[in-house]
Structure 1
Amino acid sequence: MFQSFFPRPQLFFTSAAIWMLLCIIVWYTVGPQLGAAVGLPPLAPGETPPVGLAYFFTPDNLWFYLYFTIFVLIFGGIWKIIARDHPWTNWSIWGSAFIVFIAYFAVQVSVAINNWRGPFFDLFQQALSKQGGVTAGQLYALQLNFLEIGMVGVVLNVITAFFTNHYVFRWRTAMNDYYMSMWPKLRHIEGASQRVQEDTMRFANILEGLGVTLINSVMTLVVFLPLLFRMSEQVGDLPVIGAVPHALFWLAIIWSLFGTVLLAVAGIKLPGLQFRNQRVEAAYRKELVYGEDHADRAQPVTVRELFVNVRRNYFRMYWHYCYFNIARYTYGQIDAIFLNFILIPTIVAGRITMGAWQQIATAFGEVSNSFQYLVNYWSTIIELLSIHKRLKAFEAAIDDQPLPAIDQHYLEREAEAGEIAADRPY
């Protein structure tokens, strides 16, 4: 799954994670000083960022684009030397870097919108309270600023969708080519054709959504956590707890990690059940296919037994999804009111304006949603894990390793039926 597309996957992903962490540390420690040294300084203390399209061309943002390019060229250049013979390095290295950049830029669009919310909703509040001094021209101008940001988001979404579609299909092509080159070893595994055609397709399609969202979540945390840390200074006492320095920052992390652990524990059995579900469905389907050409196959007793396995597995899944959904939906309902609940003392004290509340709510939501990646996408992750289990059987056969127990059981059953020689090494 990975070595077909990425050069030396374990080393590649480990080095990429370390390199990214190093880049983040350098950016938040000496990055501003380096930017100032090249004539692209950050905003001065107390200076508000511009609203609208101009935000993307501030000196500190231009410095980040240059900074990112330099670090990517260094990392990619080293890996191009290490993996000079790998056929997919251009897509796996440079393509991955481009996806990381557009994910970061998508977060910057969210930051630009959050910057716009402050002045717009402050004016909105003044106009509704009839404090005077607010003109229609001011509100129209801010609406145009929002349109500028929105059009940047539209262009970015189109580019992201187009590029990731091609990127993921190249990954699927790499997997397909690799598995087909090993077909003599794989053809006797149950559902081999389905695993090469359908499972690689589903793996690619699911990974397209999950992968981009994961990268976006990481970039969101990198950008919004410092913003939320600063915004927490506007928040007063918390209900029950009282005053806590940078309360929103810590609450966003704790609340989101609680939800992640809760859903992970509640759904711990689901990946295995999904995998078994694919297996029993494949066994039932294959027996029916054999029955089309062989009169002695797909007999009522055999088919009934196979369908009983299908039914049993589905009923087990329904039960485990029942308590999983109780945990998921309960957490989601409480999450909907969590921020407003903890902000009630601050709102009553009049410490924040409507614009500030909008910015805090957006930053808190972005951070908590990023931390809740597993919560929001657990069902899809379960499906991906089950597909991963099926494709791992291919890798076991390629490396002459024992197949998973459930695959061995099926091969023994087929051998007894005379479809596969009992002494086959697979």
Structure 2
Amino acid sequence: MFVSFFPKPKLFFISAVLWSLFAVLFWIFAGEQLGAYFGLPPADPNAPPIIGVGVFISKPYLWLYIYFAAFVAVFATFWMWYAPHRWQRWSVLGSALILFYTYFSVQINLAINAWRGPYWDFFQQAFAKPGSVSAAEFYWQNWLFAGIAFLAIGLSVIFTYFTSHYIFRWRTAMNEFYVEHWNQLRHIEGASQRVQEDTMRFSTIVEALGVSLIQAVMNLIAFMPLLAQLSHHVTEVPIIGQIPYSLVVLSIVWSLLGTLLLAVVGIKLPGLEFKKQRVEAAYRKELVFGEDDETRAEPLTLAELFRNVRKNYFRLYFHYAYFNIARSFYGQADGLILDIILIPSIVAGKLTMGLWQQISTAFSQVSNSFQYLVTAWPTIVELISIYKRLRAFEATLEGEPLPTIDQHFMETGVEH
């Protein structure tokens, strides 16, 4: 699954994480300041924030682009020398480009959040004192937002096009790898489906989940300090009273509660999704054999195989029912929790509309990042199922015994 596309996958991913961590820490403690030696100093903390797309071509951002490109170049050069790989341009440089876009999308969210403050304060001022804000000021604020939005849309289209090719290259690498070893793999139940379908689904889901996880981490890095700063405007919380960094603490606690809740209620789902693929494959395989062999696909055999399909689906429906109930209730409560937290501060007149908008965005970004497992759990369940199916290929090629359920299907063709 990975060795076909990435050079020495275990070492590659470990080195990528460590190199990324070093790059981030070096940036925090020294790298950001180095830009001053090249005429690209960091932003003045006392200067007003740049609103609009101009922030992305400011000197601090230009230095960040150079810094990122330099670290990627060093990492890619090392791996192209140390472990040359056919797909290294896509797996190494392509992954770096995906990482950069993920970071940039977080910065776009920050730029929009910076725009929300003055924009909604204009609204509040206009409502409170008619005539105090001119139409030109509103038009200009909308123009600034349009610039950010158009940039985000354009980059999204380009990124979607690129990732489609990235995913298909990964599928191609897996396909070639498995086809090369087809004689060793063909006897495994559902081998054709695993090569034709599971490779595409695996690469698509891993890419999507990986990007979501990286974005969640980057959102925390970007929005956590902002949320801590905005917490100074929320001095009192219902029931609890005054707590330091209230918005940060509550976002973490609330998110962890949701993650724990859904992890517990959804613990049965990965195994059932895995069995679903098994029983469907066994039923489909018997029907395919029956097309060319009249002794196969007997009614009694098909009835037994379909009973296994029905049994597993009904169990899935039951477990997904209470999982979806828990997920829906938590999702609805998630939409109310921040408003409840802010009620004392709103009543006390400590928040403007601009601050409320910025707090709302920052809180949702932080809590959604901590809720990664909550939102991604159904997709993770599907990925686990696909991984288990493709893992049987890996076990065969590595000379390891097949998983128990695969061994049983090889012997009987039905669910144990």
Normalising to structure 2: TM-score of the pair? 0.96
| 1:133 counterpart SS class | coil
1:423 corresponds to which residue? none
* 2:200 paired with 1:201: yes
Q: Is the 8 A contact 2:189 2:410 kept in 1?
A: yes
| 1:319 counterpart SS class | helix
Q: Is the 8 A contact 2:116 2:354 kept in 1?
A: yes
2:331 corresponds to which residue? 332
Shifted more, 89-98 versus 29-38: the winner is 29-38
* 2:76 paired with 1:76: yes
> In the aligned structure 2, how far is the partner of 1:374 from the partner of 1:273?
19
* 2:348 paired with 1:349: yes
The aligned amino acid for 1:223 is A
Shift of 1:221: 1.9
Over 3 Å counting, the alpha-carbon distance change for 1:258 and 1:23 in structure 2 is farther
Shift of 1:82: 1.5
Q: Percent identity?
A: 57
1:127 corresponds to which residue? 126
Structure 1 runs not aligned, ≥5 long: 416-426
> In the aligned structure 1, how far is the partner of 2:195 from the partner of 2:178?
7
2:45 corresponds to which residue? 45
2:393 corresponds to which residue? 394
Q: Is the 8 A contact 1:396 1:402 kept in 2?
A: yes
The aligned amino acid for 1:200 is T
Q: Is the 8 A contact 1:83 1:89 kept in 2?
A: no
2:381 corresponds to which residue? 382
Over 3 Å counting, the alpha-carbon distance change for 1:325 and 1:101 in structure 2 is same
Shift of 1:116: 0.7
The aligned amino acid for 2:10 is Q
Shifted more, 311-320 versus 220-229: the winner is 220-229
Shifted more, 38-47 versus 267-276: the winner is 38-47
Shifted more, 211-220 versus 29-38: the winner is 29-38
2:226 corresponds to which residue? 227
Q: Is the 8 A contact 2:167 2:200 kept in 1?
A: no
* 2:127 paired with 1:140: no
> In the aligned structure 1, how far is the partner of 2:234 from the partner of 2:79?
46
1:282 corresponds to which residue? 281
> In the aligned structure 1, how far is the partner of 2:66 from the partner of 2:156?
22
1:420 corresponds to which residue? none
The aligned amino acid for 2:368 is N
Shifted more, 234-243 versus 142-151: the winner is 234-243
Shift of 1:194: 0.7
> In the aligned structure 2, how far is the partner of 1:257 from the partner of 1:58?
37
1:313 corresponds to which residue? 312
Shift of 1:154: 1.2
Q: Is the 8 A contact 2:106 2:215 kept in 1?
A: yes
Q: After superposition, give the CA deviation of every residue in 1:202-222 in whole Å (9 maximum; x if it has no partner).
A: 222333433332222222222
The aligned amino acid for 2:155 is L
> In the aligned structure 2, how far is the partner of 1:49 from the partner of 1:27?
21
Alignment of 1:246-257 (within 5 A): 246-257=245-256
Shift of 1:244: 1.6
> In the aligned structure 2, how far is the partner of 1:238 from the partner of 1:230?
16
| 1:138 counterpart SS class | helix
> In the aligned structure 2, how far is the partner of 1:209 from the partner of 1:45?
35
* 2:111 paired with 1:112: yes
1:92 corresponds to which residue? 91
> In the aligned structure 1, how far is the partner of 2:213 from the partner of 2:323?
22
2:241 corresponds to which residue? 242
Q: Is the 8 A contact 2:282 2:413 kept in 1?
A: no
Normalising to structure 1: TM-score of the pair? 0.94
Q: After superposition, give the CA deviation of every residue in 1:219-238 in whole Å (9 maximum; x if it has no partner).
A: 22221122222222222111
2:58 corresponds to which residue? 58
Shift of 1:131: 5.1
Shift of 1:256: 1.4
Q: After superposition, give the CA deviation of every residue in 1:14-41 in whole Å (9 maximum; x if it has no partner).
A: 1111222222222233344333343323
The aligned amino acid for 1:383 is E
> In the aligned structure 2, how far is the partner of 1:173 from the partner of 1:257?
38
The aligned amino acid for 1:66 is I
| 1:30 counterpart SS class | helix
Shifted more, 252-261 versus 160-169: the winner is 252-261
Over 3 Å counting, the alpha-carbon distance change for 1:352 and 1:42 in structure 2 is farther
1:214 corresponds to which residue? 213
2:412 corresponds to which residue? 413
Shift of 1:97: 0.4
Structure 2 runs not aligned, ≥5 long: none
> In the aligned structure 2, how far is the partner of 1:227 from the partner of 1:352?
16
> In the aligned structure 2, how far is the partner of 1:37 from the partner of 1:226?
27
1:172 corresponds to which residue? 171
Over 3 Å counting, the alpha-carbon distance change for 1:248 and 1:27 in structure 2 is farther
Shift of 1:405: 0.8
Q: How many residues align?
A: 414
Shift of 1:414: 5.7
Over 3 Å counting, the alpha-carbon distance change for 1:338 and 1:414 in structure 2 is closer
Shift of 1:349: 1.6
| 1:403 counterpart SS class | coil
> In the aligned structure 2, how far is the partner of 1:44 from the partner of 1:295?
80
Q: Is the 8 A contact 1:119 1:355 kept in 2?
A: yes
**CA RMSD in angstroms, aligned pairs only:** 1.6
Shift of 1:192: 0.6
The aligned amino acid for 1:195 is R
Q: Is the 8 A contact 2:42 2:59 kept in 1?
A: yes
1:19 corresponds to which residue? 19
The aligned amino acid for 1:54 is G
Shift of 1:120: 0.6
The aligned amino acid for 2:183 is P
Q: Is the 8 A contact 2:120 2:353 kept in 1?
A: yes
> In the aligned structure 2, how far is the partner of 1:47 from the partner of 1:229?
20
> In the aligned structure 2, how far is the partner of 1:31 from the partner of 1:353?
36
